[in-house]
């Protein structure tokens, strides 16, 4: 008598795991327990729970996406190597940071500043190779593959730089050490690698590298701002936290916020590619004028977010704006050829939707966490501070987008235009509010 076994649902989380999966999990658990045992004296009860909760999250992410697992192991290895090299010489506070100028690997690769500079160069190179490959005669070519690999290496250098910077901050003085998400320099690095990893996941999931040419443009724009900010403000120097930021809430609120920002930026660049493909067959620049103008608005935002109008017209920003105008104009001029290489409208629409849905979920979490942080720091959950007000505007914008998508079936050019305009709104909430609208969140200026 034959019997048939019927299995319902998906395979369990632990079924079909390879030996490497379990080795990765063991390494993460071992590393987490070691960090807990060694540094628990410097952590409060909330930070201990954050560390404990991070262990299964990291394991789950590594199991969910194999390439991310390999990246995390490489970053951990490079960071531990940097810490070991620093530890060869000590001073009154621990490792001697002067080793960053004396040890070859630290000086040229693994100190936080060197790693972040490598990140910057590699992101620019990745963008260039994505476009070279994008405009080549074949879809899957060596240039595009190199652009993708360089994006991975750049993300590796960014993550290594952030972890080493975290270590370096604790070696300056006991009251200086903090997670590197406290100022514009640090959060722009966070934005760059997060946005890149989100894109690289979609690149693998949809088996297309053509969107890299568009997404890496916004990453390169962020790198351009980061380099300028480093030079004029010496932002790479590690500074003590201002009192309002000396809270464990920062470790949760800021990363959650930037998952939202990175996803919204990615969706906007996908929306831009959608509109380029949509208008590929149209002649005349008059119909393309709105798209060109919106592209210029996005490029000009870092310029207008300056309180000093003379500095805003400096040679650096003049070159930045000129290059941006040439890039946007060149994309629109070559729209027919570009459209042939882009994925189908269905794929573009799906990536746009998933990016906004992910960003909205984490932006919602970040807003709730921010309310708890505000209650602890200022005594109230919501004070209609300009930053809070604009965060609500951003939230309502994407909530409305998702509502129209899910309830009314919003698709096509309207959804793309909306996502692209959403980036302008989000950028103002991130940068513009601090520059023009004084409030509790105005910690710096451009």
Structure confidence at residue 244 (pLDDT): 75
Sequence-separated (6 or more) residues with CB below 8 Å from residue 182? 241, 245, 250, 254
Which helix (H) or strand (E) is 91 found in, with range? Answer: strand 90-91
Burial bucket for residue 424 (CB in 10 Å: 0-12, 13-18, 19+): middle
Confidence (pLDDT) at 302: 55
Contact 388, 382 (CB under 8 A): yes
With CA atoms as reference, report the closest residue to 121 among 161, 90, 168, 93: 161
Determine the pLDDT at residue 397: 97
Q: Among candidates 108, 58, 57, which has minimal Cα distance to 85?
A: 108
Q: Which of 166, 31, 189, 155 is nearest to 86 (CA)?
A: 166
The β-bridge relationship of strands 94-95 and 90-91 is: antiparallel
> In this predicted structure, what is the pLDDT of residue 445?
53
Q: What is residue 6's predicted lDDT score, i.e. its pLDDT?
A: 45
The pLDDT, as a whole number, for residue 1 is 45
pLDDT of residue 174: 73
- In tens digits, the chain (446 residues) has pLDDT values of 444 444 445 556 677 788 999 999 999 999 999 888 888 877 778 888 988 999 999 999 999 999 999 999 999 999 999 999 998 887 767 788 888 999 999 999 999 999 999 999 999 999 999 999 988 877 778 999 999 999 999 999 999 999 999 999 988 887 888 889 988 899 999 999 999 999 999 999 999 999 999 999 999 989 988 988 888 778 888 988 887 778 888 889 999 999 999 999 999 999 999 999 988 876 555 556 676 666 666 665 555 555 554 455 566 667 777 787 788 888 888 888 899 899 999 999 999 999 999 999 999 999 999 988 888 877 778 888 888 889 999 999 999 999 999 999 999 999 999 999 999 899 888 877 766 655 555 554 55
Contacts of 18 (CB under 8 A, 6+ apart): none
pTM of the model: 0.91
Half-sphere exposure of 44 (CA within 13 A, CB side): 6
């Amino acid at each position: 008598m034959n019997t048939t076994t019927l299995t319902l649902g998906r395979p369990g989380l632990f079924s079909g795991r390879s030996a490497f999966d379990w080795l990765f999990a063991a390494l993460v658990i071992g590393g987490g327990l070691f960090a807990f045992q060694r540094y628990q004296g410097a952590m409060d009860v909330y930070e201990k729970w954050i560390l404990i909760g991070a262990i299964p999250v990291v394991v789950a992410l590594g199991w969910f996406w194999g390439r991310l697992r390999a990246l995390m192991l490489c970053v951990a290895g490079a960071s531990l190597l940097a810490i070991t090299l620093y530890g060869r010489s000590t001073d009154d506070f621990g490792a001697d940071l002067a080793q960053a100028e004396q040890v070859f690997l630290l000086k040229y690769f693994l100190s936080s500043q060197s790693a972040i500079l490598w990140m910057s160069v590699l992101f620019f190179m990745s963008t260039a190779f994505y476009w070279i490959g994008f405009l080549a005669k074949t879809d899957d070519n060596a240039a595009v593959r190199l652009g993708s690999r360089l994006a991975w290496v750049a993300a590796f250098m960014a993550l290594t730089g952030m972890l080493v910077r975290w270590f370096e901050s604790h070696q300056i003085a006991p009251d200086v050490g903090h997670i590197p998400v406290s100022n514009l320099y640090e959060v722009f690095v966070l934005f760059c690698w997060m946005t890149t990893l989100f894109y690289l996941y979609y690149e693998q999931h949809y088996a297309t590298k053509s969107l890299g040419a568009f997404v890496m443009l916004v990453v390169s724009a962020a790198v351009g701002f980061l380099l300028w900010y480093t030079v004029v403000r010496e932002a790479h120097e590690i500074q003590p936290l201002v009192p309002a930021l000396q809270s464990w809430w920062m470790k949760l609120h800021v990363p959650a916020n930037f998952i939202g920002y990175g996803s919204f930026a990615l969706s906007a660049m996908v929306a831009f590619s959608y509109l380029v493909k949509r208008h590929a067959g149209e002649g005349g620049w008059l119909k393309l004028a709105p798209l060109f103008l919106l592209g210029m608005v996005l490029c000009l935002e870092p310029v207008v977010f300056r309180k000093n109008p003379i500095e805003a017209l400096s040679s650096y920003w003049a070159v930045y704006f000129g290059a941006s105008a040439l890039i946007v104009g060149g994309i629109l001029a070559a729209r027919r050829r570009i459209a042939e290489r882009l994925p189908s409208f269905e794929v573009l629409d799906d990536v746009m939707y998933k990016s906004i849905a992910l960003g909205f979920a984490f932006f919602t979490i970040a807003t709730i966490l921010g309310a708890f942080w505000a209650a602890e720091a200022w005594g109230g959950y919501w004070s209609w501070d300009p930053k809070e007000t604009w965060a609500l505007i951003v939230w309502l914008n994407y909530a409305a987008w998702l509502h129209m998508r899910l309830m009314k079936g919003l698709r096509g050019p309207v959804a793309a235009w909306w996502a692209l305009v959403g980036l302008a709104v989000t950028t103002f909430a991130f940068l513009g509010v601090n520059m023009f609208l004084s409030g509790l969140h105005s910690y710096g200026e451009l």
